[in-house]
Structure 1
Amino acid sequence: MLDLFAKQIAKHNKLVIVISLLLLIPCIYGSIMTKINYDVLSYLPNDKESVIGENIIEEEFKMAATTFLMIDNMEQADVKKIVRETKNIKGVNDVIYVRDLVGIGIPKEFLPKEVLDNLYSDNGELILVKYEEKAASNSTMEAIDQMNKILNKQCFVSGLSVLLKDIKELILKEMPRYVALAGILSLVVLIFCLESFVLPFIFMLTIGVGIVYNFGTNIFLGKISYITQAIAAILQLAVTMDYAIFVVHRYDEEKNNYDNKIDAMAKAITSAFLSLAGSSLTTVAGFAALCFMGFTIGMDLGIVMMKGVVLGVFTCVTFLPALILIFDESIHKYTHKTLIPDVEKLTDFILKHKNIAILIFLISFIPSYYFQSNIGIYYDISSSLPKTIESNIGKEKLKNDFKMSTSHIIVMRDDIKEYEMRDMTNKLEKIDGIKSVLSYSNLVGPGIPDSFVPKQLKDSLKKNNMQMIMLNSTYELATDEANKQIDEVISIAKEYDKNAKVTGEAALTKDLSETVSKDIQITNLLSIIAIFVIVAIVFKSLLVPLILVSCIELAIFINMSVPYIFGNSVAFITPIVIGAIQLGATVDYSILLTTRFQEELRNGNDKKTAIHIATISSARSIITSVLVFLSANLGVIMLSSLDIIKGICITLARGSVISGIVILFILPPILYVCESWIDKLSIKWRVN
């Protein structure tokens, strides 16, 4: 069946190209129609209390998406005009403006203390804008756009919805640029590393088609995260380039065995497919580990990248062979000498000092493991954005003028007795870092019947047997102090309603940090087990997978030690994806070298000659792969303003280089020294 498929691809190469290009049309449409989710907090498990609380305040109070609008030194008549125009914006549910309740004629000094503490600063006032849909929805973002047209220089905005809009604008502005730069840099690397001037363009076209296929088929997922959108193309380019190189090398080998290139390509496709299926399986296993995260953005990225690898293999055994057959003459006509240096002397040096290399390998494990286990991790998404961006300017304004670094929201029953509410409020106000507590009872005051309270005010804080209490905190988001504060708020709230929920950006971020801590361990363990099993099956050995996985794990430890050594912190998503992706993507380097080592042993060479040949012959492919991986990520590193994306790509780029160094400098001596043990712990290690 595979032979027939390969023959048809080779025989009908022009038809294959036409069909492949026509398939781009629905895929481009699918890519455009796939929704992008800019709210990473929405990927938290649904059973988290902060998420349950978030859903309640969204459904009952429309408070999940809220913008803090700060207005400085403006006449009340002008403020009222802004409020009126904002209320009329499509997508805005309501605007909470205290003067709508008490009128503009009453001096602010006569307003209740709770109102002054929460809604006024020395020079301005705070207005809350609520939306019909969630913070990341197109409706909310369009509403913010319209609101910004109304506002002037005396106005500032803050809140999760504004933050997500800023992220969206940055991604849409920067992604086309850094994807293009990544493609150009990768093309330059390929021109230098390959011997043909034409092949790099064919490779980039093939990988580009695979990327479009991948993004187009995302429509079946409905939506993907902005993190997946931002790095998936770069990752697919870097990971699947090896497959294209392998197919070409196989074709060149088969041409020596056949009289015509159609038959040679058919054989090359068959041989390459079997090899690529095994090679890509380790990469797929690494991405599959992400799917078991509690923080479901891992499943989002994992599915897209597994699909990308499969489609990358597919294009490399269909579209690429067809292109090669058509441009075969040009490929071999326009050639040059590769600029990758000969590594024979370096290989001799490494093998001569094999004991030192192994000693470095063993000694490096302990400090690198300690360093990578103690890196700083940040969870505040706003800190990954430039300080000059709108949401961060507003955040600083909120912090400095209104002493609000973050806020918590309690949702609970509304039938709690008045004296209990006063008691609870007093306890909440005594918590360190709580600036103020705003609830229906302390805003309206005791003894006033609900029927006397304006419906707008009542519905904002009390509705459908539920009430909402807002707490303003001076503590920064995602700090130990804020997390401890949230625990105290939860404890007090549950004294009065055991089903009370505490939510808000700080509570959601706290749950995010707890979820991610578990996910790091789960994904690392699963990716190690999966790849260990695959390598064990491929080599029919117990020791080979232990050696290969240990080498890549050391590379990962060293990679993740760098932020610790330089005193830098990394985004919460980085340790999760790096552990799985670096292992899955770069273990291919070690498999390539080990496979060649085994082949040379089976050809009758002694182990010294075998490892020497294996290292020299594999070095060019490994160096090319490393440089492509590096160049693809450099595009993002150079142009992205979003640290959460840039940080992932810096770590991936650094990881590919470190993995390449470990495989070329450390793995050969280990294989050489352990060869006799490998033979004993393997099935037919030296026998075909």
Structure 2
Amino acid sequence: MRKLYESIVNHKKTVIVAFVIAMIVSAFCSTMVNVNYDINDYLPDGTASTVALDTMNEEYDMSIPNARVMLSNVTVTQALEMKQKLSEIEGVEDVTWLDDVIDTEIPLETADKDTVENYYKDNNALFTVTINEHTRIETVNAIRDLIGDDNAMAGAAINTAIAAQATNKEVKNIIFLVIPICLAVLFLTSSSWIEPILLLGSIGVAILLNKGSNLMFGTISFVTNAAGGVLQLAVSMDYSIFLLHRFQEMREEGQAPKEAMINALCKSTGSILSSGLTTVIGFAALILMRFKIGPDMGLAMAKAIFLSLITVFVLFPVVLLYCYPLIDKTKHKSLLPDFGKFGQFVTKLMVPAVLIFVLFIIPCNLGQKENFFSYGSSQIFSTDTQIGRDTKIIEDTFGKSNNLVLMVPKGDLEKETELSKKLHDMPQVSSILSYVDNAGAEVPMDYLDNETLSKLISENYSRLVLTVDADFEGEATFNLIDEIRSLAKSYYGDEYLLAGESASTYDLMDTITKDNDRVNLIAIGAVFFVLLLSMKSITIPVILVLAIETAIWINLSVPYFTNDFVFYIAYLIISSVQLGATVDYAILLTSRYMEVREKASKKQTVVETLRSTTVSIMTSASILTIAGMLLWKISTHGILSQLGHLLARGTALSTIIVLFVIPGMLYIFDGLIQKTTVGVKFYNKKEKGVYEKEDYTALELD
């Protein structure tokens, strides 16, 4: 490695030019990366609802109805005029209203009241709209311009379009705020006014390279797009800090800048790579998920950490060699107090803290498994947003409703009629649009116009569009999906197909719940194995993994104890991200403990370890917590906002456990650690009752 590092520092201009070119290319490429906001697109290939959607797209020219538009205070004539205007909007494939199920020329009082009130109630008209997924944003904006803010629209297509527009704007706001806040944190914890700018700048380069290189995937998920840069910044800042501190140490020993940098690189490689590897493992575990948002984020973030490491080992050394005179000129006194007293304070609390920690393990582990989960996108917008208010207005007026499409082999109209009657008997089914319901089995297909027929009959299938009075997800809805599938199977075996947001969400629930335990076990096992090799100990990996996993369990059990719901996607992601991102703090503290313990008593070691590591841990934890809080408070997308909330709270909990509980666990199990760790010999002199501060400044924290 030394020869490689010598080559880097001897070719500084080449390195700068190469990175400038890479940045320009990445900036251009980042504008061409597509972002997908539709959760259902990430279902595994081969699931029932995915096959149904693919088949329907092949057989029919239009999609499932995916939006509802409500007009207030309109007459039937005005509603019919608006239906025509909606139909003329580019991207609107179909609009269904009352005139599609009854003759609106006759007095409505003579028609079936329940049928009428599904579409027209108290002078409010409700249209069921099918929007083309390829023009969602433009079409939704056109519908809003047509109906104005006084009327309402809701549905999966509306949610996706609004999420795409809002998130793009909100991500920019988050970046705009996180940069000055990170600078403020770094100014507090650094010894030079220029250091924070160099640290943030180097990570900024890595973030740009990662965003540009995402073009290799073609399309990335909205989760990766919104959270990727923030996570990369917060998680990989440590690597630059490690190298900077080691470089300063080498220079303080009297080494020339170039030689100091080469030695700093050689001595910090192991610690930086170990830290990076545990983080990569946390993200890489997501790749093993069948739910495709996991692999999407896992690959992108593993690549992000890899590019951060390259930037730290190649670009940052060159930048430091160019800028060290400026760093020297802008040095200032420490703005933070010495944390020796904090270490003494922790020694008084650490044993009780461990006892309290033990009491939390089992109830929090059980509680986080019993959360009420939301699996789809039906609850991503709160009533504080316009789309949330619109959804509530429509549901308060017409009730909850969503559409399912049941496709059965065409040809047997008698069997199809029997199936339709059984479906009508289900209390949740409010209406069915099908050939046998609207034309009648006795009407020959030749008598229908092609436009109407093509909506219901394809080359191989007959289509029944069900409007059901049910939430898009939940136990009752999932039971309804089971009931419809069982009924269809009793008539057609495995030849039927059921599509719709609720069907997709059902399959999504089935998929990602199976992912959870497998992904977590692999992530924990991989991190444990890395710690086993790097620490050469059996006891230490158990302590560190248990500590961080408990922090995760506490974090994820809070919604259960506060009777709140959790987006399962956020639940899945945070389990791996919190482990990968915050186990570094535990490794940092434990490595320092093991180093100092060879020269000091247990209590002295705890104090010195906290004195020398607290600033480093708090710097990284503060940035990650602040990044999570900004994502939580700024994002109107429920999944992203909750992911930020869990990230902020999880980082804070991990930090508290690292600073207050792990020192106590190391203290209590000190003897066992010595016996189960290869090549360790602890200081055995009788421990003194009073802490005597010793000079440990020559020991670098890795």
TM-score tier (shorter):
over 0.9
2:4 maps to a residue whose letter is F
The answer on 1:508 being equivalent to 2:504 is yes
Q: 1:439 aligns with which of 430, 434, 451?
A: 434
Distance 1:20 1:490, change over 3 A: same
Partner amino acid for 2:204?
G
In structure 2, the CA distance between the partners of 1:352 and 1:111, relative to structure 1 (3 Å rule), is closer
| More off after superposition, 363-372 vs 144-153 | 144-153
Aligned CA distance change for structure 1 residues 258 and 428 (closer, same or farther; 3 Å) = same
Is structure 2 residue 335 aligned with structure 1 residue 363? no
Residues 118 and 398, structure 2, Cα contact 8 Å, conserved in 1: yes
Q: Which structure 1 segments of 5+ residues have no match?
A: none
Deviations 1:588-608 (A, max 9, x none): 111111212222244x44444
1:239 to 232, 235, 255: 235
Q: CA RMSD in A?
A: 2.5
Deviates more, 1:623-632 or 1:354-363: 354-363
1:33 maps to a residue whose letter is: M
Q: Which residue of 1 aligns with 2:32?
A: 33
Q: CA deviation at 1:109?
A: 6.0
The aligned amino acid for 1:91 is G
Residues 361/397 of structure 1: CA separation in 2 closer, same or farther (3 Å cut): closer
Q: 1:100 to 1:411 in 2, by over 3 A?
A: closer
Q: Distance in 2 between matches of 1:300 and 1:453?
A: 46
- Separation in structure 2 between the aligned mates of residue 481 and residue 104 of structure 1, nearest angstrom: 34
Q: Residue 185 of structure 1 aligns with which residue?
A: 181
Q: Which residues of 2 match residues 353-502 of structure 1 at below 5 A?
A: 353-387=349-383, 389=385, 391-418=387-414, 420-498=415-493, 499-502=495-498
Change (3 A) 1:608 1:126: closer
Separation (CA, whole Å) in 1 of partners of 2:419 and 2:113: 18
| Conservation of the 8 A alpha-carbon contact between 2:35 and 2:225 | yes
Cα deviation, residue 23, structure 1: 1.4
Identity %, equivalent residues = 30
Of 459-468 and 121-130, more deviation after overlay is shown by 121-130
Deviates more, 1:442-451 or 1:633-642: 633-642
Please, which of 582, 585, 589 is the counterpart of residue 581 of structure 2? 585
Deviates more, 1:146-155 or 1:669-678: 146-155
Measure the CA separation in 2 of the matches of 1:346 and 1:673.
Answer: 19
CA distance in 1, matches of 2:384, 2:550: 39
Aligned in 2, Cα 1:624/1:353: closer, same or farther, shift over 3 Å?
Answer: same
The answer to whether residue 677 in structure 2 is matched with residue 682 in structure 1 is: yes
Q: Which residue of 1 aligns with 2:203?
A: 207
- Tell whether the 8 Å contact from 1:96 to 1:129 is kept in structure 2 after alignment: yes
Q: Distance in 1 between matches of 2:382 and 2:63?
A: 26
The answer to whether structure 1 residue 69 and structure 2 residue 65 are counterparts is no
Over 3 Å counting, the alpha-carbon distance change for 1:576 and 1:424 in structure 2 is same
Structure 2 counterpart of 1:218: 214
Residue segments in structure 2 that go unaligned for 5+ positions in a row: 683-702
- The 1:11/1:423 distance shift into structure 2, 3 A limit, reads same
Q: Residue 463 of structure 1: CA displacement?
A: 1.2
- Between stretches 176-185 and 567-576, larger displacement belongs to 567-576
Residue-by-residue CA offset, 1:492-548 (whole Å, 9 max, x unaligned):
111111121222111211222222222221221111001000110111222111111
In the aligned structure 2, how far is the partner of 1:123 from the partner of 1:525?
56
1:143 paired residue number: 139
Q: Give the corresponding residue for 2:559.
A: 563
Amino acid across the alignment from 1:647: Q
Structure-2 residue corresponding to 1:123: 123
Q: Report the Cα distance in structure 2 between the residues aligned to 1:370 and 1:340, rounded to whole angstroms.
A: 40
Deviation at 1:9, TM superposition (A): 2.5
Please tell me whether residue 8 in structure 1 is matched to residue 7 in structure 2. Answer: yes
Task: Give the aligned partner of residue 641 of structure 2.
Answer: 646
User: Which residue of structure 1 lines up, in the alignment, with residue 690 of structure 2?
Assistant: none
Distance verdict in 2 for CA 1:560–1:42, change over 3 Å: same
Q: Do the aligned partners of residues 70 and 197 (structure 1) sit closer, same or farther apart at CA in structure 2, a change above 3 Å counting?
A: same
Given that 1:198 and 1:334 are in contact with CA atoms closer than 8 Å, whether structure 2 keeps it comes out as yes
Alignment deviations for residues 67-88 of structure 1 (CA, whole Å, 9 cap, x no partner): 3333445466655554455444
What secondary structure, in the 3-state scheme, does the structure 2 residue paired with 1:384 have? coil
| Partners of 2:63 and 2:45 in 1: CA distance | 18
The reply on whether 1:264 has 2:263 as its aligned counterpart is no
> Which secondary structure state, in structure 2, belongs to the residue aligned with residue 317 of structure 1?
helix
Deviation digits for residues 48-75 of structure 1, max 9, x if unmatched?
Answer: 2122222223332322464333344546
User: TM-score scaled by structure 1?
Assistant: 0.92
1:320 is aligned to 316
* CA pair 506-655 structure 1, distance change in 2 beyond 3 A: same
**Which residue is equivalent to 2:687?**
none
What amino acid sits opposite 2:462 in the alignment? Q
TM-score (normalised: structure 2): 0.91
Which 10-residue stretch deviates more, 263-272 or 649-658? Answer: 263-272
Structure 2 Cα separation of the partners of residues 465 and 397 of structure 1: 39
Alpha-carbon displacement from aligned partner over 1:629-683 (angstroms, at most 9, x marks no partner)? 1122232233222221111111111111111111111111211222322232232
Match of 1:20 in 2: 19
Q: Does 1:666 align with 2:661?
A: yes
Q: Residues 158 and 244 (structure 1 numbering): CA distance in 2 closer, same or farther, change over 3 Å?
A: same
In 2, Cα distance between the equivalents of 1:63 and 1:294? Answer: 25
Note closer, same or farther for the CA distance 1:83–1:268 as it changes in structure 2 (3 Å cut): same
Change (3 A) 1:439 1:525: same
1:447 Cα deviation after fit: 1.1
Provide the secondary structure at the position in 2 that maps to 1:341. coil
Residue 573 (str. 1) matches residue 569 (str. 2) = yes
